[in-house]
Structure 1
Amino acid sequence: MVAVECGEVGMITLGKAAMNNGLSNLVYVVYYNGLGTLILLPNFIIHSCRSNRPPLTLSVLSKLFGLGLLGICLLQVSAYAGINYSSPTLASALGNLIPAFTFLFAIVFRIEKFDIRKSASQAKALGTIVAITGAFVMTFYQGPPLFNTTPDHELNKNLLSSQQSNWILGGLLITITCICSSSWNVFQTATVKEYPDEVTVVFLFCCFGTLQCAIFTLLYERNIDVWILDDRTEWVSIVFAAIFGTAIRNSLITWCLRKKGPVFVSMFKPISVVIAVIMGIMFLGDILHLGSVIGAVIIALGVYTVLYGQSKDSKLTINDDSRLESLSENTPLLQK
């Protein structure tokens, strides 16, 4: 998961650079998912021939179709639209909302236990509220730039005022992305438990999502010129996103979801903030704003409060299980 977060920030940064050069965010999503699906195709064919996979029922296919719609068509389109309006730093910082939203969805679908009388559950609830508060701070308060050495203050003032509305719109789109990502984590976990074949699940939902996104893009982008790639950065970003984002990342996340569950996967999001800030400043010329720092600190506090609650809850569960095992070993006659 650490490798996934590092590569994801690199993919977002390259995508932002390509969109700065004029690449449509919709075309970018279609191209890299299409190429990534082609990369996954040989492995899917070999796997289908060699393994006795479970039969693909209509119920499983409909769930994979829904995963493609949620995880590619809705999630990635809104994500890169939000990044296009704001920055990878804001996207990574608001990505810390994913653990909070995943925790809420896990409670709704009864994957996580929640009892308000227990201190662990209280910590989870408090951390969720704090994290969401930090996201609102980052979205609606950009603040003055930090480490800015540009001498023309009036130009910076006009530039900030013209970008403020785009920054808010980008923040709202990325927040929608976080909600989609959290629900996708829970939905993907349930699907993989029902159909425990990661290779088939990843290939089919990528294939469905690419087709859905391509149809939407053809209806939305009427200008044929947007499909022409005429810059080296665009090619590099698409190839990297196809190899890492579609082929490697989706496979790793699906495997981790089956092994450890959605909340574990989402808890690695805070790592991406520091990486995104460094890469954004180095490669994109992003300016670090005070609102981003304050919001990121608040979000981090909220996330680690949730982590504390989860670790405490896990210890209680282990202690309860060991106590039950000791009772069953010491009192066999009572059980009979």
Structure 2
Amino acid sequence: MGGVMERMNRMKDPICIIFVQLFAMGMLLLSKISLNQGMFVFTLLAYRNFVGFIFLIPFSLYFERDLRNKLSWKAIFWIFITALLWIPVALGLYYYGLRDTTATYSSNFLNLIPIGTFIFAVIFRLEKLELRKTSGKVKLGGTLLCVAGAMVLSLYKGKTFHIWSSHKNHVNTTVLVKKKHNWTRGTLFLIASCLGYSFWFLAQAKLSTVFQAKYSATMLVGLFGGLQSLIVGISINREKSTWKLGWNLQLLTIFYSGMLSTGATFCLLSYVIARRGPTYPSMFNPLAITFTMIIESLFMGQELSIGSLLGMVMIIGGLYAFLWGKGKEAVKASEDKDVCPNIKKSSMEEQVSSGETRVSSSSNIGPQSIVLNEIKASS
């Protein structure tokens, strides 16, 4: 009985992440259809984030009642910057890119976000490249492979096909409203979105140092981002019909994106990251691409190409290599962190037992222990 419960407990984490990927797939497909039907990008952004804000209010009130008192003007400033980079910039550009391309094509660019974040972190000296170590070399190789995959995805198409050949005869009868794609413009939007996401992660790292209430921070980022999107959207399009909602697919897209893609996804990711660490959820990212590709081809008649599949495989392979290198570095850093307190404790115990007040000879064990752990980690 205990073994069964243990296995069920272990299965909770992958099940949660699979739901996260399913939510992401649903958001991509619903957003693609709504945008093709003429929905204004900033209408979707504003209403989606207001729904996410309302969804997260109970979690903030229940889990972080005390931490809200620590909200300072500095924290508010970084919440504003984080919201601006994430919602109007990164998500806004992504939706424009999604509108001009396909859901499968645009989802591949989401896997480039960790790579872009890593590159800018190295440029701003927030992270070291560590080329002398195997993990550093693998990270660099994964980064280059992802960039090469993105170039193949953007520049090479090759032969096109459908998963089921029958779709060639009745593609126009699908639920997807056909819209002429602008691949060049869409790709530029998606690349700019990845850059926006990369800077957002850097700003989010800063926000986490000045305000540790993750539910409250995400809730306030949703509020600020919704207001920012509303202001930008009204400055672009003030027609009342643009902002009016009816009982249609667009309303479903807004509530789905706000409640599941923002609120529920955040809660599930927080739960899994607390149990497995930040790298674990990223390992499942290719699932969203696979799910989206299959559904879009089967039910929306979207054709696939050799170039898109080749680029997708290269990006996924590069991402896994990059995450492997990051994981090795995280394990090494954790081991070094655990070794240092043990060294100090051992040294103090020997000093007390010998009655000496000066530094004892056992302190020489420290560097040897660290080197030994480095050898164990590398092996």
TM-score bracket for this pair, using the shorter chain length: 0.7 to 0.9
In the TM superposition, what whole-angstrom CA distance separates every residue of 1:173-201 from its partner, at most 9, and x where no partner exists? 12222222232223223312321112221
- Residue aligning to 2:147: 132
Query: Given that residues 102 and 262 in structure 1 are in contact (C-alpha distance below 8 angstroms), is that contact kept between their aligned partners in structure 2?
Result: no
1:103 is matched by which residue type in structure 2? Answer: F
Q: Which of 204, 221, 234 is residue 250 of structure 2 equivalent to?
A: 234
Deviates more, 1:282-291 or 1:256-265: 256-265
Q: Which of 185, 199, 208 is residue 183 of structure 1 equivalent to?
A: 199
CA 1:55–1:146 in structure 2 vs 1: closer, same or farther (change >3 Å)?
same
Q: Aligned ranges for residues 79-94 of structure 1 at < 5 Å?
A: 79-94=94-109
CA distance in 1, matches of 2:331, 2:215: 34
Query: Given that residues 99 and 269 in structure 1 are in contact (C-alpha distance below 8 angstroms), is that contact kept between their aligned partners in structure 2?
Result: no
Q: Quick check: which has more Rg, 1 or 2?
A: 2
| Alignment coverage as a number of residue pairs | 326
- Residue aligning to 2:74: 59
Query: Given that residues 186 and 262 in structure 1 are in contact (C-alpha distance below 8 angstroms), is that contact kept between their aligned partners in structure 2?
Result: no
- Residue aligning to 2:176: none
Deviates more, 1:112-121 or 1:222-231: 222-231
Q: Does residue 1:213 correspond to 2:220, yes or no?
A: no
Q: Does residue 1:281 correspond to 2:297, yes or no?
A: yes
Q: Does residue 1:196 correspond to 2:212, yes or no?
A: yes
CA 1:324–1:198 in structure 2 vs 1: closer, same or farther (change >3 Å)?
closer
SS for the counterpart of 2:140 is helix
CA 1:230–1:100 in structure 2 vs 1: closer, same or farther (change >3 Å)?
same
1:310 is matched by which residue type in structure 2? Answer: K
Q: Which of 168, 185, 190 is residue 184 of structure 2 equivalent to?
A: 168
CA 1:228–1:127 in structure 2 vs 1: closer, same or farther (change >3 Å)?
same
CA distance in 2, matches of 1:2, 1:151: 31
Query: Given that residues 144 and 290 in structure 1 are in contact (C-alpha distance below 8 angstroms), is that contact kept between their aligned partners in structure 2?
Result: yes
SS for the counterpart of 2:130 is coil
CA 1:297–1:20 in structure 2 vs 1: closer, same or farther (change >3 Å)?
same
Q: Which of 205, 218, 222 is residue 238 of structure 2 equivalent to?
A: 222
Query: Given that residues 23 and 234 in structure 1 are in contact (C-alpha distance below 8 angstroms), is that contact kept between their aligned partners in structure 2?
Result: yes
Q: Does residue 1:102 correspond to 2:117, yes or no?
A: yes
Q: Aligned ranges for residues 17-32 of structure 1 at < 5 Å?
A: 17-32=33-48
- Residue aligning to 2:93: 78
The CA deviation at 1:330 is 5.9
1:75 is matched by which residue type in structure 2? Answer: A
Deviates more, 1:254-263 or 1:232-241: 254-263
Q: Which of 279, 286, 291 is residue 270 of structure 1 equivalent to?
A: 286
- Residue aligning to 1:141: 156
CA distance in 2, matches of 1:178, 1:119: 27
2:203 is matched by which residue type in structure 1? Answer: F
In the TM superposition, what whole-angstrom CA distance separates every residue of 1:286-319 from its partner, at most 9, and x where no partner exists? 2112211010011122112212322333454455
The CA deviation at 1:66 is 0.5
CA 1:63–1:21 in structure 2 vs 1: closer, same or farther (change >3 Å)?
same
In the TM superposition, what whole-angstrom CA distance separates every residue of 1:200-225 from its partner, at most 9, and x where no partner exists? 21111111111110011111113322
Unaligned runs of 5+ in 1: 156-161
Deviates more, 1:293-302 or 1:174-183: 174-183
1:123 is matched by which residue type in structure 2? Answer: V
What TM-score, normalized to structure 2?
Answer: 0.75
CA distance in 1, matches of 2:240, 2:73: 36
CA distance in 2, matches of 1:255, 1:98: 22
1:241 is matched by which residue type in structure 2? Answer: S
- Residue aligning to 2:312: 296
Q: Does residue 1:7 correspond to 2:15, yes or no?
A: no
The CA deviation at 1:329 is 6.3
Query: Given that residues 51 and 255 in structure 2 are in contact (C-alpha distance below 8 angstroms), is that contact kept between their aligned partners in structure 1?
Result: yes
In the TM superposition, what whole-angstrom CA distance separates every residue of 1:239-287 from its partner, at most 9, and x where no partner exists? 1111112322345556777888866665543332111112212343221
In the TM superposition, what whole-angstrom CA distance separates every residue of 1:5-47 from its partner, at most 9, and x where no partner exists? 3211211111112222222222111222222223334554566
1:144 is matched by which residue type in structure 2? Answer: K
Query: Given that residues 83 and 91 in structure 1 are in contact (C-alpha distance below 8 angstroms), is that contact kept between their aligned partners in structure 2?
Result: yes
Alpha carbon RMSD of aligned pairs, Å? Answer: 3.1
Higher RCO (CA < 8 A, seq sep 6+):
1
Aligned residues with identical type, % of pairs: 26
1:232 is matched by which residue type in structure 2? Answer: N
Unaligned runs of 5+ in 2: 1-16, 173-178, 351-359, 365-379
CA distance in 1, matches of 2:88, 2:270: 18
1:79 is matched by which residue type in structure 2? Answer: Y
